[in-house]
Amino acid sequence: MVTVRSAGHKVHARLAAAALALPLLLGGAAAPIATHAMTPAVGSLSNYEPLGDVQELGAVHLSCQLPGAAMPCYSPTQVRAAYDIQPLLDSGVTGAGQTIVIVDAFSDPLIQHDLARFDTTWQLAPANLDVLYPQGRTPFTPSALQIGWAVEITLDVEWAHVVAPDANLVLVLAKSEQDTDLLKVTEFAIDHQLGDVITMSFGESESCADPALLGAEHAAFERAASRGITLVSASGDFGATNQSCDGSGAALTIPTATTPASDPDVTAIGGTRLIIDPRTGAYVSETGWNDQFGASGGGFSSIYRRPGYQAPFIDDNSARGLPDVAYSADKYGGAIIALGFSPSGFARVSGTSVGTPQWAGIAALSEQAAGHRLPQLNIRLYHLAKSDGYSTGLHDITTGNNTFDGVAGSSAGPGWDPVTGLGTPDVANLVPLLALGVD
């Protein structure tokens, strides 16, 4: 079992106050809001693959890790090298003193065991993890739905820890995958200031969400922004469209943006196909993610107008564009997780859910480097993109597109685009630039 260590006086004071307030979340009924299911990117079979050929723990032998593998998978060590994370960690910027809140649904009865195995396998420091169930804990059943969310929980916790290994992690779990329940626990995390960064690796089409829910969601995100809380969310895995509103898992046939990523107070994370040197992990190249398994979510909101920070990059002021940035998301180079539900104890995952907790880790690193909470992450990113530091802190991804399932998307190109946003991080260079904030 993992040792759940003290996350520090400040964090535990917040958690204690939140625990006292739990009954408040269940009362105060307002006008009914129609509900729809949010979907975790790894909840689909195409984005989750058990790995079954581990020979020994501590020296993980996975065929997808071997040089020349047709479909490689990437370890924490390789990703830290590819995105230039390790030099920053070696300098002492590790997320210490920061708290990342991870919002997900249902529960994962194996999370502590899996996190411990993950840390042991890649020699990571033990994690500081607390788990909250603001609406009460839903009993775990091994259904496809709940296992999908358990995979998402595992991914989010393990890979946020990879990027910010000394950050405190608070896992806040909704009682179901319904958008109303996920919003309630997100509001709970915001209003009780449980952390500095909140990561949300789930989404639904804007056209599926009740307008009243979108209004409440935006109001909550405005409160978060006013308190200096950073919000990140996956932009979706179906290119310029999303899953249908009936819960069937089928993709829509019209362009539609994903919420909560489309909210202008949220940093939307798109996807790439990352190519590395398998021996050293060194960065080689990237292109916008698009294959038979999915494509980087991107396009334009039908709800929100273009925010001011995007004005230099999008001529039309009628719609917010997303994603804002991107990260490795392809099954080629999928992230390895320790997963007790897999026969070997390991699995490969892909989708924009992979980069979302890692960008949360990057945000936490930037705030540790600054020594205080910073202005909204999107404001800092787009400010940087107008400066000479753009090519230093971000890889501008200029190839690929997100046309998917017959729905026309966009092509990547220089600067911001609705496939990979402003690009992917060179973390050692990016974090000091983000830590400067915006004058």
Taking the CA atoms of 308, 236, 230 and 165 in sequence, report the sign of the dihedral they define.
negative
- pLDDT surpassing 50 at residue 8: no
Q: How far is CA 84 from the centre of its chain?
A: 18
Percentage with pLDDT > 70 across the chain: 89
CA–CA distance, 245 with 225 (Å, rounded to integer): 29
CATH of the domain at 276: 3.40.50.200
Summarize pLDDT for 346-376 with one digit per residue, the tens: 999 999 999 999 999 999 999 999 999 999 9
Summarize pLDDT for 14-27 with one digit per residue, the tens: 655 554 454 334 33
**407 falls within a domain:** yes
Residue 393: CB atoms within 10 A of its CB come to 23
CB within 8 A of 160, min separation 6: which ones?
100, 102, 167, 169, 199, 357, 358, 360, 361
Residue 124: CB atoms within 10 A of its CB come to 16
Q: What is the pLDDT of residue 4?
A: 28
The CA-based dihedral angle spanning residues 297, 298, 302, 308, taken in that order and rounded to the nearest 10 degrees? 130
203 and 103 Cβ atoms separated by less than 8 Å: no
Q: Which two tokens stand for residue 322?
A: 């997303």
CA–CA distance, 130 with 127 (Å, rounded to integer): 10
Q: 1 pLDDT band (50/70/90 cuts)? A: very low
Average pLDDT, stretch 429-435?
Answer: 97
**11 falls within a domain:** no
Counting beta carbons within 10 angstroms of the beta carbon of residue 352, is it exposed (0 to 12), middle (13 to 18) or buried (19 or more)?
buried
**185 falls within a domain:** yes
CA–CA distance, 156 with 171 (Å, rounded to integer): 9
**65 falls within a domain:** yes
**245 falls within a domain:** yes
277 and 388 Cβ atoms separated by less than 8 Å: no
Split into its structural domains, the chain has a count of 1
Q: How many CA atoms lie within 13 A of 243 on its CB side?
A: 22
Summarize pLDDT for 375-384 with one digit per residue, the tens: 999 999 999 9
Q: What is the mean pLDDT of the chain?
A: 89
Q: What is the pLDDT of residue 42?
A: 54
For residues 61 and 74, which has the higher predicted lDDT (pLDDT)?
74
CA–CA distance, 376 with 371 (Å, rounded to integer): 15
CB within 8 A of 275, min separation 6: which ones?
284, 285, 286, 333
Q: What is the pLDDT of residue 430?
A: 98
**200 falls within a domain:** yes
**167 falls within a domain:** yes
- pLDDT surpassing 80 at residue 183: yes
Summarize pLDDT for 138-182 with one digit per residue, the tens: 999 999 889 999 999 999 999 999 999 999 999 999 999 999 999
Instruction: Say which range, 62-76, 186-200, 209-223, has the weakest mean pLDDT.
Output: 62-76
- pLDDT surpassing 60 at residue 416: yes
Q: What is the DSSP letter of 367?
A: H
The Cα-based distances of 324 to 134, 403, 423 in angstroms read 30, 18, 8
Summarize pLDDT for 224-256 with one digit per residue, the tens: 999 999 999 999 999 999 888 876 777 788 899
Q: What is the DSSP string of 309-320?
A: GGTTT-S-TTS-
CA–CA distance, 16 with 304 (Å, rounded to integer): 36
Summarize pLDDT for 389-404 with one digit per residue, the tens: 999 999 999 999 999 9
Q: Helices in 192-318 by DSSP H: which ranges? A: 211-226
276 and 81 Cβ atoms separated by less than 8 Å: yes
- pLDDT surpassing 50 at residue 30: no
CA–CA distance, 315 with 366 (Å, rounded to integer): 30
Taking the CA atoms of 157, 160, 162 and 164 in sequence, report the sign of the dihedral they define.
negative
Length of the chain: 439
Could you tell me the residue range of the domain that residue 55 belongs to?
A: 46-435
Q: What is the pLDDT of residue 35?
A: 75
**27 falls within a domain:** no
Helix, strand, coil fractions of the chain, as percent rounded to 5: 30, 20, 45
**Whole-model pTM?**
0.93
Instruction: Say which range, 271-275, 278-282, 298-302, 420-424, has the weakest mean pLDDT.
Output: 278-282
